[in-house]
Amino acid sequence: MVQFYSPNRRSVNRGIISVTADNLDAQGQGIARHQGKTIFIPGLLPDEQAQIQLTEEKRQFAKAKVVKRLSDSPHRVDPHCPHFKVCGGCQQQHVATELQVNTKASVLEHLIQRETGVSISAHPIIHSPEYGYRRRARLGLQYHAKQRTLLMGFRQSQTNDLVNIKHCPVMRPELEQLLRPLHQCLNSLNAVKRLGHVELVLADNGPLIVLRYLDSLKHEDKEILCTFSVQYNVAIYLLGDEKSLDPLMAGQPAPWYQVDGLKLVFSPQDFIQVNDEVNQQMVAQALAWLDLQPTDRVLDLFCGMGNFTLPIATKVQTVVGVEGVAALVASGQYNARLNELNNVNFFHENLESDIHQQPWAAQGFNKVLLDPARAGAAGVMAHIVKLAPEKVVYVSCNPTTLARDSKVLLEAGYHLASVRMLDMFPHTGHLESMALFSSGPMDIE
């Protein structure tokens, strides 16, 4: 009889144990210690005692669930959302904002110190409104055959099941008030069983909706959507496939938002920062850190549609933006013309490929800003060092890759002059940040 080797699985102790949390991680999980092992416990706050049950056990750590909480932290608050604990969108509405942001700042500081050896404060924090901050949200659509109704909402935590959202206090109020009537409207369509998702966006000139459908919409359905559009003063765009976006009605004004006094027109599918208030502060901080002068030549990598590029252009000799998404480059070029900025050049290039043959790489710059995706900017760090800019501002949505890429600049002789934690997504585990590197004498803010 053939026998196959099977490694021993680490058994999980299902017994109840009592612990007291002594810390919080960036995801909002309580951290406790038991018999020398670190345990991560969702829903438990520092200094709270609880009876817990292990759900997963590894060699170095374990995960657990709360069976009974025995005490309450003064940092525990009542969540505003009736869907909290079911919806997977927010994880920390039970945590006071001060503890949320200070925990994230501490995590950022610890990670940078561990990876680079540099000890630096991530304060002052760039703060956000606690609620009503999201100007963009994508909701899944799923027809429930047994209930004969449409589910519209976010995914449950760690499942593909939808939570039927009726309230969402982290959305801008102008979007949240559309949830109920929009659900009723979509539920009345003949094509209700063949809808994909719906995206709500708040531009400065009003709300808009992008509806993804799987089969062609009949005339009757389009009439229902037109009535909704007029009644609620919302522009609607139809997305038949990932490349075909069409306005429901002719004459809909293009959406736009303002940053640093400039008007930026965007397509409903373009990436824009979800939190407008933090975005305004972030751009202002980046421009201040760069200490822009009329003679500067600035490079903006992973520039998107010019959220930083165009404000920089108002203060310098020239600025070059490089971006891998062609549609965003087109939007940036359009907005440069719209704002009569003639000192901006955009390049559509893949910054994860060999950049040395790309046309922008032959130019010289004395200041650099980069805002990469979660994977970071490993492919361009050596070239930034080669440019020898006076200042580098790195905007990050992943502290791990920020710390990794920082080492390249530090090893080249740059100083980490300042770090900020950005509260871009309150009540979630997302940790956004920005860092300033300087080639000159140490001048920490």
397 catalytic residue (yes or no) = yes
CB 325 within 8 A of CB 351: no
Question: Cis omega (within 30 of 0) on the bond before 255?
Answer: no
Residue with tokens 């939570």: 163
Q: Is 273 annotated as a binding residue?
A: yes
Alpha-carbon gap, residue 126 to 151, rounded angstroms: 36
168 is in an annotated binding site: yes
Has 339 been labeled as part of a binding site? Answer: no
Q: Is 371 labelled a binding residue?
A: yes
Pick from 37, 70, 35, 84: nearest CA to 56 = 37
Is 185 labelled a binding residue?
Answer: no
Q: How far is Cα 342 from Cα 45, in angstroms, rounded to an integer?
A: 53
Q: Helix axis angle, 179-187 relative to 219-232, nearest 10°?
A: 160
**Angle formed by the axes of helices 399-411 and 378-387, nearest 10°:** 30
Pair 207, 181: CB distance under 8 Å: no
| Whole-number Å distance between alpha carbons of 414 and 16 | 51
Tokens (6 digits) for 339 = 């704002």
Residue of 108, 111, 138, 137 whose CA lies nearest to 122:
108
Do the annotations mark residue 269 as ligand-binding? no
Q: Is 31 helix (H, G, I), strand (E, B) or coil?
A: strand
For residue 380, what is the enclosing H or E element? helix 378-387
R_g of the chain, CA atoms, integer Å:
25
Q: Is 81 annotated in some ligand binding site?
A: yes
Q: Is residue 303 part of an annotated ligand binding site?
A: no
Interhelix angle for 399-411 vs 97-116, to 10°? 40
Q: Taking a C-beta distance cutoff of 8 angstroms, is the pair 287, 260 a contact? A: yes
Q: Which residues are catalytic?
A: 397
**Residues forming the annotated binding site?**
81, 87, 90, 168, 273, 302, 307, 323, 350, 371
**Residues forming the annotated binding site for S-adenosyl-L-methionine?**
273, 302, 307, 323, 350, 371
